[in-house]
Amino acid sequence: MRTVLYILQKEFIQIFRDKSILPIIFLIPFIQLVVLSYTATFEIKNVRFILVDHDHSSESRKLADKFSGSAFFTEVGKTDSYRQAIQAIQKDKADQIIIIEPDFEKNLVNEKRAKIQVVTNAINGSAASLMNAYALSLISDFNKEIMVKQFPMHFKEMPIKLNSSFWYNPELNYVTYMVPGILVLLVTIIGMFLSSMNIVKEKEKGTNEQLNVTPIRKLEFIAGKLIPFWIIAMIDLLIGLLLARFWFGIMIIGNPFLLLFVAGIYLVLVLGLGLFISTLTNTMQQAMFISWFFLVIFILMSGLFTPIESMPMWAQKLDAINPLAYFIKINRMIMLKGSGFVDIQKDFLILTAYAVGMIIFSTMRYRKTT
């Protein structure tokens, strides 16, 4: 035990002696948390549209005002030429075109029906579906207003009333959904990068050979190397949770001690993976590239940005070995839903088994003697 404490003391002295690594550990992650939480969003709040009004009637102006008055739409131009509107989309100056047919008002009055065309830039399929849904919703509201106006007695009291209730995120704030996931991502990056490069750093400097000839046992050496970064990552997580509470206004609905306990197990897994990478590499550059290789796959398949249920079936099955996906799910459940241990029990047991297996495998893979 005393040997481990000496190694811990040495590691902390080395960490705090390196002035360049301190901002990476304690400052940059929280700048990234603030920036990414506001920018990494799939919400569409500024749909640029061009109005092609072939009618120029009072009803067509009401429909145009419906779009202009929406918080999700911004009118960037009006034209009578469909070709000009298409050119605006091609030049990325507009996202949608709202086309109102000639005799729009006349057809509404006489034939009780009229046509509107919506053209959407669908390069980004998910964004296009949202923009299209917003537009159809506004047109549906406009259509309802016309029905009420033409048949006031029939719609004097609507037979069905809808009251929506949104659980766990009542304001539908995308930041509330993203912050727990991005916090997990940043803690993972810190733990994996630092642990994977630490032992490799000893190899590059040649001090690893000096340690190998000492009577320090392998488990003592590994524990002394990994525990400091476990402590640092846990401190970063605590600061991130405080930032989530006081900067973003996100309260932890569930038990914070349960969250920290699961986080501690998860960080053991991350550090074990970093240790495994260090056994495969001889330089810090190699360690960084391999760590980044794993992280890119884990991040893109974690459900942080894209729902796992939307992935192909083979990808969903492959995601069973993605530790990031488990902890993001658990973190969101505890922070936003207030889930207890029973609710996360299955994922927690998988994560624990994964952590124990990774530490054992990485320790066996590491050779004290060269």
Grouping H, G, I as helix, E, B as strand and the rest as coil, residue 73 is: strand
Q: Answer for the pair 101, 55: CB distance below 8 angstroms, yes or no.
A: yes
For position 370, what pLDDT does the model report? 45
Rounded CA separation 243/245 (Å) = 5
Residue 238's pLDDT is what?
Answer: 92
pLDDT, residue 160, reads 59
Its pTM surpasses 0.85:
no
Question: Model confidence at 288, in pLDDT bands (50, 70, 90)?
Answer: confident
Phi, psi angles (nearest 5°) of residue 44? -110, 110
Q: Which of 65-74, 294-303, 359-368 has the lowest mean pLDDT?
A: 359-368
Phi-psi region of 338 (alpha: psi -120 to 50; beta: other; left: phi over 0): left
Does residue 30 or residue 260 have the better pLDDT?
Answer: 260
Nearest-angstrom CA–CA distance, 78 and 98? 10
Dist CA 192 CA 186 (whole Å): 10
Phi, psi of 104 (to 5 degrees): -60, -50
- The phi and psi torsions of 99 (rounded to 5 degrees) equal -110, 120
Domains belonging to the chain, first-starting first, are 2-40+171-365 (no CATH), 47-150 (3.40.1710.10)
Q: Please, are residues 55 and 81 in contact by the beta-carbon 8 Å criterion?
A: no
* CA angle, residues 199, 321, 365, in degrees to nearest 5: 30
Predicted local confidence at residue 211, as pLDDT: 60
Per-residue pLDDT tens over the stretch 123-154: 877 788 888 888 888 888 888 777 766 656 55
Which amino acid is present at 262? V
Q: Are 96 and 47 in contact (CB under 8 A)?
A: yes
